[in-house]
Structure 1
Amino acid sequence: MKAIFYEGAEHVAFKEAEMPKLPEGWALIKTSHVGICGTDLNIYAGTHPRAAAPLIIGHEFSGTVLEGHPTLKEGAKVTVNPLLSCGTCGPCVSGQSHVCESLKLIGIDCDGGMAEYVAAPVESIIALPEEMNLEAGALAEPVAVAVHAVRQGGYVPGDRVVVFGAGTIGLCVALVLRSLGATDIIVAETNEHRLAMAKELGFVAVNPLTEDVHSVVLEYTNGLGADFVFDCAGHPSVLTQLTELVKVRGNIIIVAAYKKPAPVNLLQGMFKELSIQFVRVYTPRDFEIAIDLLNSQSSFEKMITHVLPPEEAEKGFELLTTGTNAVKVMYSF
């Protein structure tokens, strides 16, 4: 089969690979679409602590069942929850396997979905509605991240929200919030192309480099501040603004993964009695909700700016690392 391999810092290659082996309890999937995630960009940069070359990357993917599944027929449309948990640690035995103490992922700790075929544990394979197109199905994983962030953060319909970052996750969070009744959603982003995407999707879009985000938030919240601020940017400059923008007794949700320690104004957090919630990946229920949203709302698919053949492996990563208008880039197998 053919696959896209991570071969070292800033180097991916489309080449021949061996067919996946099927351990007991795993099934084989014929890949349809696979997206490039922010984590894939970290791998590409050579900075991911676990991903070791040569590796078939990709953990946002859809496809059809080929063999090995006990209940789904050959040709059934599916996506995959890529989390690989140990099943024996404290979080796992208490039903919180998404925060397993030794959590691993398909596409990071073993070969992933950027290939013609991919293997996955049977229990991780999730059937998609027959009417759903497989391009949308490949968005299930990032939408599940957003669903988890919103659900765990405790958002209440009617609350006013600021989302930092208009990449895939930030836009997914904003869209999930809107699907749950949020009407006043401000998206802050410095990339003009992504800012335009946020505007196109109907959100109030603010560029912190040219506008005072605090003033805009006060204007839209009658001087109170936001009920919720979701940090999907993961940049130290954002952390300095979070405690300022949120109202007294408001909520800060950290969705982005910070690579290095960053300062946060804890004294202001104390004076305002703020709540700071950290969230990680998703639960099986989050995946179910994500698929329902994708099946009922076409807005999520507007984030897909590029669908490339896998032969253009390098181009996909270049689009996301050179300041283009790319938001979600996928390969179609």
Structure 2
Amino acid sequence: MKAIVYEGPQTVSFQNKELPKVTEGWALIKTSYVGICGTDLNIYAGVHPRATAPLIMGHEFSGTIVSGHPTFIEGTPVTVNPLLTCGTCIPCSTGQSHVCETLKLIGIDCDGGMAEFVKVPVDRVIPLPDGISLEAGALTEPVAVAVHAARQGGYMPGDHVVVFGAGTIGLCVALTLRNYGAVHVTVVETNELRLKKAEELGFGIVNPTTENVKEAILARTNGTGADFVYDCAGHPSVVSQVTDIVKVRGNIVIVAAYKKPAEVNLLQGMFKELSIRFVRVYTDKDFEIAAELLKSDKDFEKIITHILSPEDAKKGFNLLTSQTDAVKVMYQFN
């Protein structure tokens, strides 16, 4: 089968690999579309703490059932919740398995969806609702991240929101919040090409390389600051700004995964009595909501900027590690 294989830092290649051997409790899926996400970029950079070469990456993908599933017949369009949990730790036993103490993921701790075929546990397979294309279905995982951030962050309809980062997660968060009733959403991003995409989607934009972010947000909020700030950028320069632009008793939600410790202005946080919430991945319910959002709001599909063949394995990663207009890059397996 065709596959994209991580071979070491800065090295991915197109290869022919053997089909996965499917055992009881696992299903075989024919991959249709698979996206490159921030975690894949960390693996590609050689800085992910668990992923080891050789590895078939990819944990946001869609496809069709081939065999092994007890309920879904061959050809059923599906996506996959890639979380692999132990089922016995305290978080798992109290209904919080998304923060399992030994959480693992398909495409990181075992081979994933960047191949023609992938095997997954049968309980991780999620059927796609009618009306969703397989292309859109591959967005379910990042949209689930956004849904989780919105729900756990406690967003209230009508509140003014600032989203740092116009990558896939940032734009998915902005779109999700708009579906939840956010009328005033401002996206902060340094990449002009990504900012243009945010503007095309109908969001207010601020480029911190040409504008003072604090002044811009205060001007848009009658001097009070944002009700909610979502950090989807994961850059140290953002953490120094979030406490500055959020209103007194406002809310900060950290969605991005920081590679290194970053300084937070805790004194300002105390003086303004801020709430800071950290979120991680998603629950099964978030996945269900994400699929329905994709069905009802076609704007999510507009963040897909490139669809490549697996033979262009290196090109996909190059697009996302240089200054381009790329947001969501996918590979299509025919």
Bin for the TM-score computed over the shorter chain = over 0.9
1:55 alignment partner, SS class: coil
Report the equivalent of 2:238. 238
The superposition leaves residues 258-281 of structure 1 with CA deviations (integer Å, 9 ceiling, x where unpaired) of 111110100000011000000000
Contact 2:252 2:275 in 1 (8 A): yes
1:119 aligns to 2:119 (yes or no): yes
Alignment of 1:1-333 (within 5 A): 1-333=1-333
Contact 1:149 1:255 in 2 (8 A): yes
CA–CA distance in structure 1, aligned partners of residues 132 and 301 of structure 2: 12
Unaligned ranges ≥5, structure 2: none
CA–CA distance in structure 2, aligned partners of residues 235 and 130 of structure 1: 38
CA–CA distance in structure 2, aligned partners of residues 280 and 131 of structure 1: 29
Contact 2:3 2:116 in 1 (8 A): yes
CA–CA distance in structure 2, aligned partners of residues 30 and 280 of structure 1: 28
Contact 1:59 1:107 in 2 (8 A): yes
Contact 1:65 1:73 in 2 (8 A): yes
Contact 1:77 1:130 in 2 (8 A): no
Displacement of 1:220 after TM fit?
Answer: 1.3
Higher mean C-alpha deviation, range 16-25 or range 225-234: 16-25
Displacement of 1:322 after TM fit?
Answer: 1.4
CA–CA distance in structure 2, aligned partners of residues 130 and 106 of structure 1: 25
1:15 alignment partner, SS class: strand
Displacement of 1:45 after TM fit?
Answer: 0.6
Displacement of 1:216 after TM fit?
Answer: 1.4
CA–CA distance in structure 2, aligned partners of residues 132 and 161 of structure 1: 28
Contact 2:148 2:279 in 1 (8 A): yes
Higher mean C-alpha deviation, range 79-88 or range 19-28: 19-28
2:126 alignment partner, SS class: strand
Amino acid in structure 2 at the alignment position of 1:24: E
Amino acid in structure 2 at the alignment position of 1:232: C
Amino acid in structure 1 at the alignment position of 2:24: E
Amino acid in structure 2 at the alignment position of 1:27: A
Contact 2:24 2:68 in 1 (8 A): no
Compute the TM-score of the two structures, normalised by the length of structure 1.
0.99
CA–CA distance in structure 2, aligned partners of residues 320 and 146 of structure 1: 20
Quote the RMSD (CA, aligned, Å).
Answer: 0.6
CA–CA distance in structure 1, aligned partners of residues 171 and 185 of structure 2: 11
Contact 1:35 1:58 in 2 (8 A): yes
CA–CA distance in structure 1, aligned partners of residues 259 and 142 of structure 2: 19
CA–CA distance in structure 1, aligned partners of residues 238 and 3 of structure 2: 37
Displacement of 1:131 after TM fit?
Answer: 2.5
CA–CA distance in structure 1, aligned partners of residues 274 and 26 of structure 2: 45
Contact 2:246 2:252 in 1 (8 A): yes
CA–CA distance in structure 1, aligned partners of residues 252 and 283 of structure 2: 21
1:31 alignment partner, SS class: strand
CA–CA distance in structure 2, aligned partners of residues 92 and 21 of structure 1: 28
2:64 alignment partner, SS class: strand
Contact 1:201 1:299 in 2 (8 A): yes
Contact 1:253 1:278 in 2 (8 A): yes
Amino acid in structure 2 at the alignment position of 1:318: N
The superposition leaves residues 84-119 of structure 1 with CA deviations (integer Å, 9 ceiling, x where unpaired) of 000010100001000000000000000000000001
CA–CA distance in structure 1, aligned partners of residues 239 and 131 of structure 2: 41
Compute the TM-score of the two structures, normalised by the length of structure 2.
0.99
Displacement of 1:215 after TM fit?
Answer: 1.2
Displacement of 1:23 after TM fit?
Answer: 2.7
Displacement of 1:130 after TM fit?
Answer: 3.1
1:273 alignment partner, SS class: coil
The superposition leaves residues 4-47 of structure 1 with CA deviations (integer Å, 9 ceiling, x where unpaired) of 00000111011111111223211000000000000000000111
Amino acid in structure 2 at the alignment position of 1:282: Y
Amino acid in structure 2 at the alignment position of 1:117: F
CA–CA distance in structure 2, aligned partners of residues 50 and 113 of structure 1: 17
